[in-house]
């Protein structure tokens, strides 16, 4: 019987297995997790003929290299990067047939941060609470890839898309985040809210799957008492003691004790996933 699996040759800086996420467990302290750039995940799955929620690899900045043990159709999208099969250039943003034993090398991101690599049949690691996603905060799901690891592949259920290439969203040169104020905007001064909407921030190198941290002017609080822990949603803009806004992403904690000044529109979060350190950030009121 064909060995439907792949071996990890080069794990890269941070490569994880991700699908659409682990929904419905926040009351148990389990975040959604899942791919940070959901449109990119859905795209690569469509390109190889998978259901949109099949598990794929999410790479970070430096890509990865794997050796499928069976012939498989692969697609790479998200952050633009070079792709090779046994050293020969291959298409990015289109289905590619990789022979058994060949090395698929997904190179470093040319722009953006996170790449997505789908395989026909999907990554078939054991689901946990209904998802195969790696959750770096709680430790649920498979851990980050390591050199030499072997991942199982599922059975193919559909055909690869008959396209030469698919339209994709370019990583942002400037990240514009539309937000709605609240629930704790009244814990900040009027000047702080003006600062939030008129001053420029930058993406901090300390950003990760838990949250996008910013560098820029601090937001001054009007209320200085302690806040009991409250529920958090993906996209919540929390303000820690240093005053710099922090946008929570897929692996965020489900509760927190610092005030949330605003919440980012869900449609802007995929761009946040691709914003490299140093990218300018602007917060604007939703509806603009």
What is the full per-residue pLDDT of the chain (288 aa) written as tens digits? Answer: 459 999 999 999 999 999 999 988 888 889 899 999 999 999 999 999 999 999 999 999 999 999 999 999 999 999 999 999 999 999 999 999 999 999 999 999 999 999 999 999 999 999 999 999 999 988 999 999 999 999 999 999 888 878 767 778 889 999 999 999 999 999 999 999 999 999 999 999 999 999 999 999 999 999 999 899 999 999 999 999 999 999 999 999 999 999 999 999 999 999 999 999 999 999 999 975
Q: What pLDDT was estimated at residue 2?
A: 59
CA distance 253 to 233: 9
Task: Write phi, then psi, for 246 (nearest 5 degrees).
Answer: -125, 120
Name the class of domain 175-285.
mainly beta
Is the peptide bond prior to 183 cis by the omega test (within 30 degrees of 0)?
Answer: yes
The secondary structure element, H or E, covering residue 50 is none
Q: What pLDDT was estimated at residue 246?
A: 98
Q: What pLDDT was estimated at residue 1?
A: 40
The secondary structure element, H or E, covering residue 192 is helix 190-198
Q: What pLDDT was estimated at residue 166?
A: 75
| Domain residue extents for the chain | 5-152, 175-285
In this prediction the pTM is 0.95
Count, residues in the chain: 288
Please, are residues 100 and 67 in contact by the beta-carbon 8 Å criterion? Answer: no
């Amino acid at each position: 019987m064909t060995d439907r699996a792949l071996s990890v040759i080069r794990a890269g800086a941070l490569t994880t297995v991700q699908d659409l996420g682990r929904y419905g467990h926040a009351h148990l302290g389990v975040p959604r997790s899942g791919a940070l750039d959901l449109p990119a995940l859905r795209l690569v799955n469509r390109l190889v003929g998978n259901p949109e929620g099949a598990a794929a690899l999410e790479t970070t900045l430096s890509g990865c290299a794997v050796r499928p043990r069976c012939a498989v159709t692969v697609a790479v999208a998200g952050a633009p990067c070079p792709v090779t099969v046994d050293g020969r250039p291959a298409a990015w943003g289109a289905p590619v047939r990789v022979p058994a034993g060949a090395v698929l090398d997904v190179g470093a991101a040319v722009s953006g941060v996170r790449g997505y690599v789908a395989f026909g049949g999907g990554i078939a690691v054991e689901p946990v609470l209904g998802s195969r996603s790696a959750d770096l905060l709680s430790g649920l799901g498979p851990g980050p890839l390591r050199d030499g690891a072997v991942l199982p592949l599922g059975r193919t259920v559909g055909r690869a898309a008959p396209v030469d290439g698919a339209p994709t969203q370019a990583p942002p040169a400037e990240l514009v985040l539309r937000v709605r104020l609240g629930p704790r905007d009244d814990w900040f001064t009027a000047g702080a809210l003006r600062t939030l909407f008129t001053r420029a921030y930058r993406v901090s190198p300390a950003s990760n799957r838990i949250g996008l941290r910013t560098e820029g002017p601090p937001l001054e609080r009007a209320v200085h008492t302690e806040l009991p822990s409250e529920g958090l949603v993906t996209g919540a803009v929390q303000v820690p003691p240093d005053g710099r806004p922090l946008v929570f992403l897929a692996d965020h904690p489900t509760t927190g004790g610092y005030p949330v000044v605003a919440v980012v529109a869900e449609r802007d979060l995929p761009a946040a996933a691709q914003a490299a350190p140093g990218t300018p950030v602007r917060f604007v009121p939703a509806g603009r």
